[in-house]
């Protein structure tokens, strides 16, 4: 049996070795196929890069020659795709479709020029535009990294400012600071602008630089904790529903108690007070606070402050009306917020911008539909706003986006894919500028199909076009003057007139130093607020408690002293009475002895004319009494010690 077991073990080992060898062969084949696929992918990417380089040589946009070499959706060229692709000289749209686009963007009122229709070649006679009055119906600028979103934002901001509309934008990468400096012409730039019918001239625009709490360059933007509110603060702290509700209760108490919440120190002071012995009764009628919940909030506040957020809260709080200013020449001022380190604190950045919108919404009056908005707000890296957002927060964002247009404010969300923005927000957007999307993964392909499904029907195969757009090209559809969507247009976008790279540090410093807002907001203030009030209150309570304790201790000491004094006096009185009693007893005894001496004595007394006996005279004298008292006191130990 042992031999059989050995044989079976050897057979099993041989079978396992054969299986391992087969798996190794399969693995080698899989690796070979993967290498072949990678080689194909590299070839496709090289072809795409060559197309991009050719586009750059033609002015930063695609040309028919470069587009003919670009791979279709998925990054690979196939005979089938080449067979279905239109010739380089011909576009996907027929004459009727081109005419429909031409009429669809021929607006009567003022409009922002986006660029020219692309139908194989750029068509300068078919401009693509956005009605100025519709920019307060909000919009979306989307596209993969490096496809030209920032330049599109700059083109829109420049034209809005030229039309007298104020602009607010966060300068994530520092590129937008070039708006303050005239652009620089070159052959490549002029070649591509002439190709779309843009008469390009260099120009600069009025710019105001801001920074969050003074971190970075610019006029500091600060907000008070009370102005920020519990909902936004809960989001940035990552609190759950219970903790958010408790924080709202704290804000409610502080407002009713007249405790100004200016900075994070004030909020910490109120939280600590409400769970202290002195303050825990303040919220009995409102449900009270859990020490555990307050502990979580305090820990999150500490982390928040250590990340540098404490400098964002305080006074003077920025008046958001400063972002609606117009320069003396009638052009709108472009407010650029420098936000360094966004990747480290995305929630802070996005929530702070949302506070600005909420504050604008609360402060601005209703104006209805205007010929042009008062302010257009560009929300760059918009996905940061919605990451990890609670339902209540999303509801507030949707409400703000829906209603703020009636206050004369338009919002453009700038992000990588439309899926970064919730559907309820997307439903409120009137204009869409979609740059190239990439479909290298199944998730990308799914997102691409979802994006295509949201566009009106058109003559384009959008699933292919969106993956082959060149840098500086986009699929555009806007809300026309009647509130209906315009035809989908493949657009080659205009070039900015200002510098497409950052302005110099010297130029930025000069503009900041000359800002009329710097004296007003440049220096932080520290007036009496909740922290100081509660500290004084708790110090006063501690002093009163100490005084009460001292008074109680003194009263006890006085009572004990009085008790001891009374006992001493009582003992003394007792001793005095005992001495007096003994004195009286001795007197009575001596008095009895003199009477017992008989008639002889009485006769002597009478013979002396009734005078007292000698002993009576001695004992009755004051000196004798003093001596006797001293003797008695010495006998009974009642004599006072001196």
Q: For 230-286, how does the pLDDT look when each residue is reduced to its tens digit (9 = 90+)?
A: 988 887 888 888 899 999 999 999 999 899 999 999 999 999 988 888 888 888 777
Contact between 471 and 500 (Cβ < 8 Å) = no
Classify residue 514: in a domain, yes or no. Answer: yes
Q: Are strands 139-142 and 409-415 parallel, antiparallel or unpaired?
A: parallel
- In the chain, % of residues over pLDDT 90: 38
CB atoms within 10 A of CB 223: 24
More confident residue, 309 or 627: 309
Classify residue 194: in a domain, yes or no. Answer: yes
Does residue 160 carry a pLDDT above 80? yes
For the ranges 365-374, 387-396, 631-640, which has the lowest average pLDDT? 631-640
Does residue 463 carry a pLDDT above 80? yes
Q: Which two tokens stand for residue 203?
A: 């120009």
For the ranges 75-79, 144-148, 524-528, which has the lowest average pLDDT? 75-79
Beta-carbon contacts of 344 under 8 Å, excluding residues fewer than 6 positions away, are 307
Residue that terminates a domain, selected from 280, 309, 338? 309
For the ranges 57-66, 175-184, 561-570, which has the lowest average pLDDT? 57-66
Kindly state whether residues 210 and 339 are assigned to the same domain: yes
Rounded to an integer, what distance in angstroms lies between the CA atom of residue 483 and that of residue 366? 20
The per-residue pLDDT for 58 is 39
Kindly state whether residues 384 and 517 are assigned to the same domain: yes
Contact between 396 and 429 (Cβ < 8 Å) = no
Classify residue 630: in a domain, yes or no. Answer: no
3-class SS of residue 380: strand
Rounded to an integer, what distance in angstroms lies between the CA atom of residue 493 and that of residue 476? 10
Beta-carbon contacts of 382 under 8 Å, excluding residues fewer than 6 positions away, are 350, 413, 414, 415, 420, 421
Going by pLDDT thresholds of 50, 70 and 90, the confidence category of residue 66 is: very low
Kindly state whether residues 211 and 288 are assigned to the same domain: no
The per-residue pLDDT for 493 is 96
More confident residue, 338 or 152: 152
Going by pLDDT thresholds of 50, 70 and 90, the confidence category of residue 5 is: low
Kindly state whether residues 329 and 435 are assigned to the same domain: yes
Residue that terminates a domain, selected from 262, 294, 309? 309
Does residue 53 carry a pLDDT above 50? no
Range of the domain at 256: 226-309
Does residue 621 carry a pLDDT above 90? no
More confident residue, 266 or 613: 266
Kindly state whether residues 263 and 298 are assigned to the same domain: yes
CA 579 to chain centre: 90
3-class SS of residue 283: coil
Q: Among positive and negative, which fits the CA dihedral 609, 610, 615, 620? A: negative
Does residue 89 carry a pLDDT above 50? no
Residue-averaged pLDDT of the chain: 80
From 222, 277, 226, select the one nearest 253 (Cα to Cα).
Answer: 226
Does residue 54 carry a pLDDT above 60? no
Q: Which two tokens stand for residue 137?
A: 């119906």
Classify residue 590: in a domain, yes or no. Answer: no
Alpha-carbon Rg for the chain, nearest whole angstrom, is 48
Longest dimension (CA), the chain: 177
Classify residue 491: in a domain, yes or no. Answer: yes
Q: Which helix (H) or strand (E) segment is 131 a member of?
A: strand 121-131
For the ranges 98-102, 170-174, 622-626, which has the lowest average pLDDT? 622-626
Does residue 610 carry a pLDDT above 70? no
3-state SS string for 393-411:
HHHHHHHHHHHHHHHCEEE
Classify residue 163: in a domain, yes or no. Answer: yes
Kindly state whether residues 183 and 111 are assigned to the same domain: yes
Read off the pTM.
Answer: 0.69
The per-residue pLDDT for 626 is 67
Kindly state whether residues 405 and 507 are assigned to the same domain: yes
Kindly state whether residues 354 and 498 are assigned to the same domain: yes
C-alpha dihedral over 468, 148, 432, 353, to 10 degrees? Answer: 140
CATH at residue 512: 3.40.50.300
| Per-residue b or e along 542-561, where b marks 16 or more CB atoms closer than 10 Å to that residue's CB | eeeeeeeeeeeeeeeeeeee
The per-residue pLDDT for 635 is 58
From 234, 226, 235, 232, select the one nearest 257 (Cα to Cα).
Answer: 226
Does residue 2 carry a pLDDT above 60? no
Kindly state whether residues 396 and 462 are assigned to the same domain: yes
From 447, 486, 487, 483, select the one nearest 467 (Cα to Cα).
Answer: 447
Q: For 508-537, how does the pLDDT look when each residue is reduced to its tens digit (9 = 90+)?
A: 999 999 999 999 998 888 888 777 788 777
The per-residue pLDDT for 61 is 40
Residue that terminates a domain, selected from 253, 286, 309? 309
Classify residue 609: in a domain, yes or no. Answer: no
Beta-carbon contacts of 342 under 8 Å, excluding residues fewer than 6 positions away, are 172, 349, 381, 384
The secondary structure of residue 454, as a DSSP letter, is T
Rounded to an integer, what distance in angstroms lies between the CA atom of residue 482 and that of residue 83? 40
- In the chain, % of residues over pLDDT 70: 76
Number of domains in the chain: 2
Kindly state whether residues 324 and 417 are assigned to the same domain: yes
From 308, 147, 295, 297, select the one nearest 213 (Cα to Cα).
Answer: 308
The per-residue pLDDT for 343 is 58
Rounded to an integer, what distance in angstroms lies between the CA atom of residue 590 and that of residue 625? 13
Does residue 74 carry a pLDDT above 50? no
Q: For 8-31, how does the pLDDT look when each residue is reduced to its tens digit (9 = 90+)?
A: 655 665 565 565 555 555 655 655
CB atoms within 10 A of CB 322: 19
Going by pLDDT thresholds of 50, 70 and 90, the confidence category of residue 208 is: very high
Kindly state whether residues 359 and 445 are assigned to the same domain: yes
Stretch 536-545: mean pLDDT? 72
Rounded to an integer, what distance in angstroms lies between the CA atom of residue 412 and that of residue 427? 13
Does residue 348 carry a pLDDT above 90? no
Concatenated DSSP letters for 203-248? Answer: ----EEEEEETTBSSSEEE-B-HHHH-HHHHHHHHT--HHHHHHHH
Kindly state whether residues 209 and 291 are assigned to the same domain: no
Stretch 621-628: mean pLDDT? 64
From 437, 429, 513, 502, select the one nearest 468 (Cα to Cα).
Answer: 437
The per-residue pLDDT for 341 is 63
More confident residue, 132 or 605: 132
Classify residue 173: in a domain, yes or no. Answer: yes
């Amino acid at each position: 049996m042992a031999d059989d077991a050995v044989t079976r073990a050897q057979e099993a080992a041989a079978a396992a070795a054969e299986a391992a060898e087969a798996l190794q062969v399969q693995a080698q084949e899989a690796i070979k196929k993967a290498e072949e696929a990678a080689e194909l992918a590299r070839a496709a990417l090289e072809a795409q890069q060559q197309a991009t380089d050719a586009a750059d040589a033609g002015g930063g946009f695609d040309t028919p020659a470069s587009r003919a070499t670009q791979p279709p959706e998925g990054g690979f060229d196939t005979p089938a795709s080449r067979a279905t692709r239109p010739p380089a000289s011909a576009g996907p749209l027929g004459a009727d479709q081109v005419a429909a686009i031409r009429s669809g963007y021929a607006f009567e009122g003022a409009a922002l020029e986006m660029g020219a229709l692309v139908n194989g070649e750029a068509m300068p006679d078919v401009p693509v535009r956005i009605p100025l009055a519709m920019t307060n119906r909000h919009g979306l600028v989307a596209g993969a990294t490096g496809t030209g979103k920032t330049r599109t934002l700059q083109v829109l901001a420049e034209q809005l400012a030229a039309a007298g509309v104020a602009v607010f934008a966060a300068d994530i990468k520092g590129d937008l600071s070039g708006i303050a400096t005239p652009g620089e012409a070159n052959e490549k730039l002029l070649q591509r602008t002439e190709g779309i019918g843009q008469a390009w001239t260099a120009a600069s625009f009025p710019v105001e630089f801001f920074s969050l709490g003074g971190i970075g360059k610019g006029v500091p933007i600060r907000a008070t904790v009370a102005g920020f509110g519990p909902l936004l603060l809960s989001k940035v702290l990552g609190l759950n529903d219970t903790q958010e509700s408790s924080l709202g209760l704290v804000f409610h108490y502080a407002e009713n108690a007249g405790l100004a919440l200016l900075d994070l120190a004030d909020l910490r002071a109120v939280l600590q007070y409400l769970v202290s012995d002195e303050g825990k009764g303040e919220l009995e009628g409102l449900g009270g606070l859990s020490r555990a919940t307050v502990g979580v909030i305090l820990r999150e506040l500490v982390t928040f402050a250590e990340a540098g957020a404490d400098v964002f809260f305080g006074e003077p709080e920025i008046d958001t009306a400063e972002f609606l200013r117009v320069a003396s020449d009638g052009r709108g001022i472009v407010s650029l917020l420098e936000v360094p380190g966004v990747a480290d604190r995305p929630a802070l950045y996005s929530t702070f911008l949302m506070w600005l919108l909420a504050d604008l919404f609360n402060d601005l009056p209703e104006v209805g539909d205007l010929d042009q908005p008062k302010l257009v707000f560009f929300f760059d890296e918009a996905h940061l706003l919605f990451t990890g957002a609670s339902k209540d927060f999303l509801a507030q964002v949707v409400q703000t986006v829906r209603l703020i247009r009636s206050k004369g404010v338009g919002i453009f969300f700038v992000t990588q894919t439309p899926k970064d923005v919730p559907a309820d927000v997307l439903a409120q957007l009137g204009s869409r500028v979609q740059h190239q999307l990439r479909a290298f993964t199944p998730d990308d392909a799914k997102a691409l199909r979802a994006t295509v499904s949201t566009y009106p029907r058109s003559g384009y195969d959008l699933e292919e076009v969106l993956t082959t757009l060149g840098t500086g090209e986009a699929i555009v559809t806007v809300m026309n003057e009647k509130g209906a969507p315009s035809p989908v247009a493949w657009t080659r976008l205009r070039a900015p007139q200002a510098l497409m790279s950052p302005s110099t540090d010297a130029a930025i410093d000069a503009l900041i130093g000359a800002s009329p807002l710097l004296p007003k907001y440049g220096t932080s203030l520290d007036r009496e607020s909740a922290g100081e009030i509660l500290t004084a209150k708790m110090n006063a309570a501690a002093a009163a408690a100490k005084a009460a304790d001292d008074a109680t201790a003194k009263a006890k000491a006085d009572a004990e002293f009085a008790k001891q004094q009374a006992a001493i006096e009582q003992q003394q009185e007792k001793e005095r009475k005992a001495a007096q009693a003994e004195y009286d007893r001795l007197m009575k005894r001596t008095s009895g002895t003199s009477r017992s001496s008989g008639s002889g004595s009485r006769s002597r007394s009478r013979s002396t004319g009734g005078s007292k006996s000698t002993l009576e005279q001695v004992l009755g004298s004051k000196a004798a009494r003093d001596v006797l008292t001293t003797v008695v006191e010495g006998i009974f130990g009642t004599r006072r010690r001196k």
